[in-house]
Amino acid sequence: MRISGWRLVAEAAAVFAAALAFLLMMSPAAPFTRELGVCESGAVRDVLAGHIILPRFLPGPIVHVPPLYWWGAALCVRVFGWSEIALRLPSMVPTAITTAIVFAWGSAIINRRAGLWAAVALTLCHFTIDAARQPRMDAILSTFVTAAIVCLERGLFDPDPIAPIDLLSIQELRAIFFVPPGLSLHRHMLAPEDNRRGPSASRVWFSLAALLIGLGILSKGILGIALPGLAAGLYLIFSGRTQEGFRPALVLSFTAGLAIGLAWYVAGYVIDGRQFLQWQLSMNLWHRFMPVEAGGAGYCAHPFWYFVPVTLAGFIPWCGYLPATAVVLWRRRHALAKPIAFALCWFAAIFLFFSASSGKCLIYILPVFPPLALILGITIDSIQREAESKTVDDLYAPADTPDRPTALTFATGTDVILAGAALITLAGIGVALLGLPNHLPTTIHPTDRRFLEILAELAATHAISLYLWLLVMVAAILVTGAGLFEHHPELQAIGVGLIAAAGSLFWFGVMNPALAEQETLRGFAEAVTSRVPPGSIVGHIGLGDCDLDFYSPQPLPKIFRFRCDESGSLPRFIVLREDAFDDMTSAQRACLKPILTSARVDSQGPRLLVERTN
């Protein structure tokens, strides 16, 4: 059933609240370690210091993208103080909003079940949760891009005069039409597509799209307008409506959105002149996305197919249903419903854009997950309706030809997910009962080794979080198995959702925070602050530590050349890595006295606080 009006608004608000509540269970106050966004947190300090238009990474250059994220983070710092949650909320709230938008579009255009499953898949998606915990602008960009694309689709909406009634459940159809015994109903009814909206509706949607495109540009530059434009353009080409790309309302929407976004660039040029444009356009646009032979910097260089395994791994466990999705789409290839076609174009446009880009950083691909979740929601809804129609038709007459390949592919995906969940659960039970083996393989990555040690420690201390995770996993496995036994696709999906929820809560809410506690330099920063006189400037030699800058009362200025005879211009206290101290010449070490040593939190070794003695 499709929903609209205030009912849609109320249910979307409930989805937003549920998604945000779930994300807030992912330990948003866990300490920072080496997250990339923490390295950029100095820009928040600069915004708070009054540099609103062109904040700088303290220490460092001016920001490389428009500062909408840092503005939001500064507001959160005003409310919650300088803390981890203040920097994570500007990512968590937009992620929950994105989930609500996906639900609203799916429920209004397809039906509630498809929208709900899309929201569930997006919320319980490994990549989405991880991005929501990062103190960066990518989640905000994804929200504005998603909302802009949805508004553009609504503005371009063109109802079919006759369309298959393929989005209603079999029970709803039998309530509408009188069906005598012996008549197989499914896939045989036609009706006009709903077009109940006023003449100004398109203008409203295009106006909203303009605002959202502008905000997207203020989040991360050109991507805020490029991604919605590519998605809408590919859909118009695919549907044979290329000429509508020149509709005055659509052109005006993109023009107005560009004007909103360019306001920051104009202000930056007024403040910093040509140097600002060179930094923004040359260093952070051309060099980032162009290949090396065209003058690019080789930033995050990866092969064209790099984002294929990244997307599959990021969509765990729902990626197990992607083969079934491919089967459903193949069956409908000759009569693809417009919402499905739009979601496919939406996904393909963004995915191909980032795949073709020379710079392929991991987080870039985040905006493809909303359309991917919608495609999955449509798949689950379609397969469940197939099962319902077969059940009802069997009561009245021989059913239509059963779609065995689709059901078999979906069940196989469930089998794979179930087998993986069962193995993980058995391993967890084994560690809880027997502990870890005495000799772990030497090929295990150090981070993975630490995770295993944390799991063993949880078992040794009988942590309630471990037993709750195992209990929910066992229950989820039973639910999933019952869905397989009863040939009930939606029950299988419910079981997989429980597996995803339990795994996400344990991984992001327990394991990752425990690892962060071991790897953070928060304790060392606090010890440094208490050791040096109040207000003292502490310098830093060598590679910086982002979390050390975050937890220090003020950023640590870099020292690029150290000599004892030039010490008059240098800070009295300096932080550096132990290896860097050992590599100094005896003349350099002669005027330095180590007074504090950190724990060995990572492979870089301990950090030292030294004091100049001259």
pLDDT digits (tens, 9 = 90+) for 282-303: 666 666 666 656 555 567 778 8
* Residue 191, C-beta contacts closer than 8 angstroms, at least 6 positions apart: 162, 163, 165
Tens digit of each residue's pLDDT (9 = 90 or more) over 310-358: 999 999 999 999 999 999 998 888 878 888 999 999 999 999 999 988 8
Distance, in Å, from the CA atom of 403 to the CA atom of 328, rounded to the nearest integer, reads 10
Residues 102 and 211 placed together within one structural domain of the fold: yes
Distance, in Å, from the CA atom of 505 to the CA atom of 184, rounded to the nearest integer, reads 45
pLDDT score for 283? 65
Instruction: For the beta carbon of residue 265, count every other beta carbon within 10 angstroms.
Output: 17
Residues 138 and 170 placed together within one structural domain of the fold: yes
Residue where one domain finishes, among candidates 366, 396, 426 = 396
Counting Cα atoms < 13 Å in the Cβ hemisphere of 391 gives: 13
pLDDT score for 336? 83
Smallest CA-to-CA distance from 578 within 598, 562, 558, 560 is with 598
pLDDT for 66 beyond 80: yes
Tens digit of each residue's pLDDT (9 = 90 or more) over 67-96: 999 999 999 999 999 999 999 999 999 999
pLDDT for 161 beyond 60: no
Residues 380 and 233 placed together within one structural domain of the fold: yes
pLDDT score for 182? 44
DSSP 533: P
Residues 332 and 220 placed together within one structural domain of the fold: yes
Which tokens in the block code for residue 263? 């306001």
pLDDT for 589 beyond 90: no
Residues 279 and 412 placed together within one structural domain of the fold: no
Residue where one domain finishes, among candidates 519, 543, 572 = 519
Q: Are 275 and 267 in contact (CB under 8 A)?
A: no
Q: Report the number of distinct structural domains present in the chain.
A: 4
Domain region containing 582: 522-612
Q: How far is CA 23 from CA 20, 94, 508, in A?
A: 5, 11, 9
Percent of the chain with pLDDT over 70: 87
Q: At what angle do helices 512-519 and 446-460 cross, to 10 degrees?
A: 110
For 450, counting Cβ atoms within 10 Å of its Cβ (0-12 exposed, 13-18 middle, 19+ buried), the class is: middle
pLDDT for 567 beyond 80: no
Residues 264 and 390 placed together within one structural domain of the fold: yes
pLDDT score for 163? 45
Residues 596 and 467 placed together within one structural domain of the fold: no
Chain CA centroid to CA 613, Å? 49
Residues 458 and 600 placed together within one structural domain of the fold: no
Residues 559 and 594 placed together within one structural domain of the fold: yes
Name the band, by pLDDT with cuts 50, 70 and 90, for residue 105: very high
Residue where one domain finishes, among candidates 362, 396, 430 = 396
pLDDT score for 285? 66
> 3-state class of 133 per DSSP?
coil
The per-residue pLDDT of the chain, averaged, comes to: 86
Distance, in Å, from the CA atom of 109 to the CA atom of 337, rounded to the nearest integer, reads 11
Global pTM reads 0.90
The length of the chain is 614
Name the band, by pLDDT with cuts 50, 70 and 90, for residue 201: confident
pLDDT score for 198? 61
How much is the average pLDDT of 194-213? Answer: 82
pLDDT score for 68? 95
Residues 192 and 314 placed together within one structural domain of the fold: yes
Residues 237 and 288 placed together within one structural domain of the fold: no
For 148, counting Cβ atoms within 10 Å of its Cβ (0-12 exposed, 13-18 middle, 19+ buried), the class is: buried
Distance, in Å, from the CA atom of 409 to the CA atom of 321, rounded to the nearest integer, reads 8
Bigger pLDDT: 25 vs 388: 25
What residues form DSSP beta bridges with 593?
A: 611
Residues 537 and 551 placed together within one structural domain of the fold: yes
pLDDT for 167 beyond 70: no
* Largest separation between any pair of C-alpha atoms in the chain: 100
Tens digit of each residue's pLDDT (9 = 90 or more) over 361-411: 899 999 999 999 999 999 999 898 887 766 544 444 344 444 678 889 999
Q: Are 344 and 286 in contact (CB under 8 A)?
A: no
Name the band, by pLDDT with cuts 50, 70 and 90, for residue 183: very low
